[in-house]
Amino acid sequence: MRVKRSVTARARHKSTLAAAKGMQHNRTRSFRLAKQAVIRALQYAYRDRRNKKRTIRSLWITRINAAARENGTTYGKLISSLRASGVELDRKVLAELAVNDPKAFSSLVKSVSK
């Protein structure tokens, strides 16, 4: 018995073309080009969700270093003294303190550096 594929094929094509909406040129009209573009876009999205974490952490480190240097120390020395004194604040919290509450950050640096 012959299988007619029009309904499923059209549905698959429609969903792929919908995912390619907003792309340029024939990627929005041609299924073959749209499929390639969507696959590549999904690969980039997967990779960059992981890279985003890397860049955010680097931003935190930059902010902590800038605030630490204002208080007469460096990022590396601050982190090692935090570890030595048993303070378990992560870089996200330290960066938040450095930006939004500089007085608390400077008091933390003073208490740890002693």
Residue 4: the pLDDT is: 84
Question: Using one digit for the tens of pLDDT, what is the confidence trace for 57-114?
Answer: 999 999 999 999 999 999 999 999 999 999 999 999 999 999 999 999 999 999 998 7
Q: What is the pLDDT of residue 45?
A: 98
Confirm if 28 and 21 have CB atoms less than 8 A apart.
yes
The pLDDT, as a whole number, for residue 81 is 95
Secondary structure (3-state) at 99: helix
16 vs 29: CA distance, rounded Å: 10
Q: What does the pLDDT read at residue 40?
A: 98
| CATH code of the domain made up of 6-113 | 1.10.1900.20
pTM of the model as a whole = 0.79
Residue 80, classed as helix, strand or coil, is: helix
Question: Residue 1: is its pLDDT beyond 90?
Answer: no
Task: Measure the CA angle with vertex 21, ends 12 and 46; round to 5°.
Answer: 80
Pairwise CA distance, residues 19 & 88, whole Å = 44
